[in-house]
Amino acid sequence: MRWAQRTGLVFGAIALASTLAAVLISWTALGAQFDNNVYDFLFRLQADATPARDVVVLAIDDRTLVERGGLRGLRRTLADVLNTLAAAPPKVVAIDVNLADTGGADDDAALSAAMARTRGLVLACEMFQDGSGWQDPPAPFRTYAEALGHVSTLPGPFDEINRRITLERVAGRQRRWALSLEAFRLSRNATEIDSSPTDVRVSALVIPSRWDEGRPMRVDYAGAGAIPQIAVRDLLARPQDKLPLMRGRVVFVGVTALSAIKDRLFTPLTPASMNLPMPGVEIHAQAFNTMSRGRFFVDTPLAVPVVVALVVSFAMAAAFFFLPGWPGYTLVAGLAVAAHAAPVLFFHAHHVLAPFAPVSAAWLSMMGCGVWQSLFVRRQLARSEHDRARYQQAFHFVAHELRTPLTAIQGSSELLSRYNMPDEKRKQLGEMINSESKRLARMITTFLDVERLSAGQMELRVVPFSAGELVESCLGRAAGLAERKKIRLESEIQAAAELSGDRELLEYALYNLITNAVKYSSSGTFVRIEVRRVGGRVEFAVQDQGIGMSQDEVKLLFRKFYRTQRAVQSGETGTGLGLSIVDQIVTHHGGRIQVRSELNRGSVFTMILPIVPVSRPREEGRDAR
Ligand code: ADP
């Protein structure tokens, strides 16, 4: 249960970290660029070229400029345009030309006179770069204009593509609405533009546009050709053909000549429809057309992508945690698809949901949880499998090793109960039962200790002891076995080394080496135990003249259950577990085992132990062995 809780917490932490990372990156240039690109892509998919009903662009194009004296002749050209239009007349004429400077007196007079005849005139004004005020057209022009509109757009963020205009700008405490908005107001015969912190209203139209975001309005660019464009040169040359197109409409007049203008901007449509950025005058006409169509793309509040990212990440983590296997993976895939589809669905409802946070949170959460699951959860499973296997082996070991003393106890007790025998013999059998039961108890305790040691659950009970005494005690225990096989036990203790370590476990280890040496030797040979002190270490060498083994077999010796073929053929019983336990004990003491062996010549098993200083003698609570 605790493991499950921890796993759940880790999945939750991955989901949270994924969301945080995704949201933070979404606020950087990288995230914004991604959002922009997706917006442009979706925008191009849905853009239509339904012809605009009430707006026309009157373009002062390259040819017009060339034929009419370039920019110097601009005021005269505008005067001619207005005079010609007066015959239509349009409902609104919005002039996207900065007239703030004074021109030649004749030109200004001609333009003033033309403006005086024009109904619904909107003139452009630009902000001074420092924001201190407006570059308004000079007085005569102003008086004829029914409104002044600013011509600022809002590129980006983080690129030069124009997706939005700003409806309202303030400079030098003077507020100006956008040129397109003023044109729209006049086209609807409204006197006022109302605003609240969240929208702008003109007659019946409500444009969602937040004041705290700089009053943006996304321009719903219509495809190429949707807004009719007439060159001024054509209008002036053939007014009778062109004027009907402008009667009662809103006409945006501006320079589109490549050579003369600087306010061309890329739009989301640019890559698909044309390879040139769009002139400012056309952008204003498009903004007007957006208002005229009355449907607006609205940015969702900042919290929406954050919440979607959070929900998707946590749902993914929950799927990984609660639904293992295919149902979980299917749900995760579904959530990933949902994270990608959400911005598209929002877009179709004219809501702009910034996709970076949800999409990247989905990917991060999916990959994070997936990697964690495969790496760590699987590792946990493998570990518990391994534990199970280890306990199975342990069980076999216990069963096998316990059988020998049990058989002796069983046999002796049967003899005792069945037959009358002399006291001397009874005593012998009684002692045998006693010693074999002690052996049993010792084996069980040692075995449990080794299990706990290898599971990392037990500390060594470090006590000081003498190497000689350890050898003597092992030899004493092995004497009976050696005698039965007629093998001579010899020992040479070269140095009276004092060691520290878990004496019981080390005795188990050395005893195992000695009994192996006896088991795998034939009668008439000797087994020799030598204790040497080499530097900071003590070496216990157990040498025999037995069956030996090849070098390849030496390499496999410490594997659990491994037995050499000759050992199996020798008829000696064994489990192949003893040496692996010896190895664990010695390793836990910071030592190692060295094996030298030759087939049919014998082996030397050397247990090398460091002389560790006694850190914490702990003898209490030890079972009797
Ligand atoms: P067991 O003796 O119960 O089979 P061990 O783990 O103690 O298990 O030993 C593993 C194997 O190593 C033995 O089966 C035997 O093949 C080989 N072995 C161990 N000690 C000796 C030795 N002194 N001489 C020859 N072979 C040995």
pLDDT in tens, 24-62: 999 999 999 999 999 999 998 988 888 998 999 999 999
Q: What pLDDT was estimated at residue 182? A: 97
What Rg value do the Cα atoms of the chain yield, rounded? 48
* Residues contacting ligand 1 via CB (< 6 Å): 512, 516-517, 520, 544, 546-549, 557, 562-564, 567, 574-579, 603
Tokens of 331: 């749900």
Tokens of 139: 């007085």
Q: Whose CA is nearest to atom 14 of ligand 1?
A: 563
**Atom number, ligand 1, closest to the C-alpha of residue 581:** 6
How many Å from the N-terminal Cα to the C-terminal Cα in the chain? 37
Q: Whose CA is nearest to atom 18 of ligand 1?
A: 516
**Atom number, ligand 1, closest to the C-alpha of residue 567:** 16
Q: Whose CA is nearest to atom 20 of ligand 1?
A: 516
Report which of 202, 185, 111 is spatially closest to residue 146, judged by C-alpha positions. 185
Determine the residue type at 602: G
Q: Per-residue pLDDT for 344 more than 90?
A: yes
Q: What pLDDT was estimated at residue 450? A: 67
Q: Whose CA is nearest to atom 22 of ligand 1?
A: 517
Instruction: Give the β-pairing of 147-150 and 121-127.
Output: parallel
**CB distance 597 to 603 below 8 Å:** yes
What pLDDT, in 10s, does the model give residues 474-486?
999 899 899 999 9
Q: Whose CA is nearest to atom 19 of ligand 1?
A: 516
Q: What is the pLDDT confidence band of residue 158, given thresholds at 50, 70 and 90?
A: confident
Ligand 1 center to 545 CA (angstroms): 14
Tokens of 510: 């050395």
Ligand 1 center to 527 CA (angstroms): 15
Mean pLDDT for the chain overall: 89
Mean pLDDT (whole number) for 354-382: 91
Which neighbouring-strand residues pair with 115? none
Question: Is the model more confident about 440 or about 240?
Answer: 240
Distance, CA of 4 to CA of 11 (rounded, Å): 11
Count of CB atoms situated within 10 Å of the CB of 15? 27
**Atom number, ligand 1, closest to the C-alpha of residue 547:** 25
Q: What pLDDT was estimated at residue 456? A: 66
Q: What pLDDT was estimated at residue 544? A: 97
What pLDDT, in 10s, does the model give residues 217-237?
999 999 878 999 999 999 999
**Residues sharing a CB contact under 8 Å with residue 48, sequence separation 6 or more, in sequence order:** 222, 223, 226
Ligand 1 center to 562 CA (angstroms): 8
Q: What pLDDT was estimated at residue 571? A: 85
Q: Scanning the structure block, which residue is given the tokens 């200790």?
A: 449
**Atom number, ligand 1, closest to the C-alpha of residue 546:** 24
Positive or negative, the CA dihedral 220, 222, 228, 231 is positive
**Atom number, ligand 1, closest to the C-alpha of residue 577:** 6
Distance, CA of 553 to CA of 560 (rounded, Å): 13
Question: Is the model more confident about 448 or about 597?
Answer: 597
Determine the residue of 557, 577, 596, 607 to mutate for testing ligand 1's pocket, defined as the one with the most ligand atoms within 8 A of the Cβ atom: 557
What pLDDT, in 10s, does the model give residues 266-286?
888 875 455 678 899 999 999
Q: What pLDDT was estimated at residue 616? A: 37
What pLDDT, in 10s, does the model give residues 561-596?
788 999 989 988 777 778 988 998 898 899 999 999
User: How many separate helices (H) and strands (E) can be counted in the chain?
Assistant: 21, 26
Q: What pLDDT was estimated at residue 159? A: 82
Q: Whose CA is nearest to atom 3 of ligand 1?
A: 574
Residue 162 CA: distances (Å) to CA of 29, 212, 540: 16, 20, 85
Q: What pLDDT was estimated at residue 457? A: 67
**CB distance 282 to 257 below 8 Å:** no
137-158 b/e with 16+ CB inside 10 Å = b?
Answer: beeebeebbbbbbbbbbbeeee
Q: What pLDDT was estimated at residue 275? A: 62
Q: Per-residue pLDDT for 614 more than 70?
A: no
Q: What pLDDT was estimated at residue 615? A: 42
Percent of the chain topping pLDDT 70? 94
Q: Per-residue pLDDT for 622 more than 50?
A: no
Ligand 1 center to 576 CA (angstroms): 7
Q: What pLDDT was estimated at residue 624? A: 34
Judged by average pLDDT, the poorest of 38-42, 156-160, 192-196, 202-206 is: 156-160
Distance, CA of 288 to CA of 284 (rounded, Å): 6
Report which of 396, 453, 405 is spatially closest to residue 433, judged by C-alpha positions. 405
Report which of 341, 336, 309, 307 is spatially closest to residue 320, judged by C-alpha positions. 336
Ligand 1 center to 76 CA (angstroms): 113
Q: Per-residue pLDDT for 623 more than 60?
A: no
Positive or negative, the CA dihedral 495, 500, 504, 508 is negative
**Phi and psi of 494, rounded to 5°?**
-75, -35
Q: What pLDDT was estimated at residue 373? A: 87
- Reported pTM: 0.64
Q: What is the pLDDT confidence band of residue 389, given thresholds at 50, 70 and 90?
A: confident
Q: Per-residue pLDDT for 208 more than 70?
A: yes
Ligand 1 center to 557 CA (angstroms): 7
**Phi and psi of 103, rounded to 5°?**
-100, -165
Determine the residue of 508, 515, 579 to mutate for testing ligand 1's pocket, defined as the one with the most ligand atoms within 8 A of the Cβ atom: 579
Distance, CA of 308 to CA of 321 (rounded, Å): 20
Tell me, rounded to whole angstroms, the distance of Cα 31 from its chain centroid.
15
Distance, CA of 192 to CA of 104 (rounded, Å): 35
Q: What pLDDT was estimated at residue 328? A: 92
Q: What pLDDT was estimated at residue 60? A: 95
Q: What pLDDT was estimated at residue 560? A: 75
Q: What pLDDT was estimated at residue 251? A: 97
Instruction: Give the β-pairing of 592-598 and 602-610.
Output: antiparallel
3-state DSSP helix/strand/coil percent for the chain, to nearest 5?
Answer: 50, 20, 30
Q: Whose CA is nearest to atom 25 of ligand 1?
A: 548
Q: Per-residue pLDDT for 254 more than 60?
A: yes
Q: What is the pLDDT confidence band of residue 191, given thresholds at 50, 70 and 90?
A: very high
Residue 409 CA: distances (Å) to CA of 396, 431, 517: 20, 10, 25
Q: What pLDDT was estimated at residue 453? A: 67
Q: Whose CA is nearest to atom 23 of ligand 1?
A: 517
**Atom number, ligand 1, closest to the C-alpha of residue 605:** 23
- Strands annotated E in 111-152: 121-127, 134-135, 147-150
Mean pLDDT (whole number) for 247-263: 87
Distance, CA of 285 to CA of 221 (rounded, Å): 10
Q: Whose CA is nearest to atom 9 of ligand 1?
A: 576
Ligand 1 center to 516 CA (angstroms): 6
Determine the residue of 481, 511, 516 to mutate for testing ligand 1's pocket, defined as the one with the most ligand atoms within 8 A of the Cβ atom: 516
Report which of 91, 84, 453, 425 is spatially closest to residue 248, judged by C-alpha positions. 91
Instruction: Give the β-pairing of 134-135 and 194-195.
Output: unpaired
Q: Scanning the structure block, which residue is given the tokens 């306990």?
A: 391
Ligand 1 center to 514 CA (angstroms): 11
Q: What pLDDT was estimated at residue 446? A: 67
Determine the residue of 512, 518, 520, 542 to mutate for testing ligand 1's pocket, defined as the one with the most ligand atoms within 8 A of the Cβ atom: 520
Ligand 1 center to 521 CA (angstroms): 11
**Atom number, ligand 1, closest to the C-alpha of residue 548:** 25
**CB distance 492 to 527 below 8 Å:** no
Q: Whose CA is nearest to atom 21 of ligand 1?
A: 516
Tokens of 399: 């069963």
**Atom number, ligand 1, closest to the C-alpha of residue 576:** 8
Ligand 1 center to 520 CA (angstroms): 7
Q: Whose CA is nearest to atom 8 of ligand 1?
A: 576
Determine the residue of 443, 563, 577, 582 to mutate for testing ligand 1's pocket, defined as the one with the most ligand atoms within 8 A of the Cβ atom: 563
What pLDDT, in 10s, does the model give residues 99-157?
988 778 899 999 999 999 999 999 999 999 888 999 999 988 999 999 999 998 877 78
Ligand 1 center to 589 CA (angstroms): 22
Distance, CA of 260 to CA of 255 (rounded, Å): 7
Ligand 1 center to 99 CA (angstroms): 105
Mean pLDDT (whole number) for 204-209: 95
Ligand 1 center to 602 CA (angstroms): 12
**CB distance 266 to 161 below 8 Å:** yes
Mean pLDDT (whole number) for 382-403: 76
DSSP code for 562: -
Ligand 1 center to 523 CA (angstroms): 17
DSSP code for 421: -
Determine the residue type at 495: A
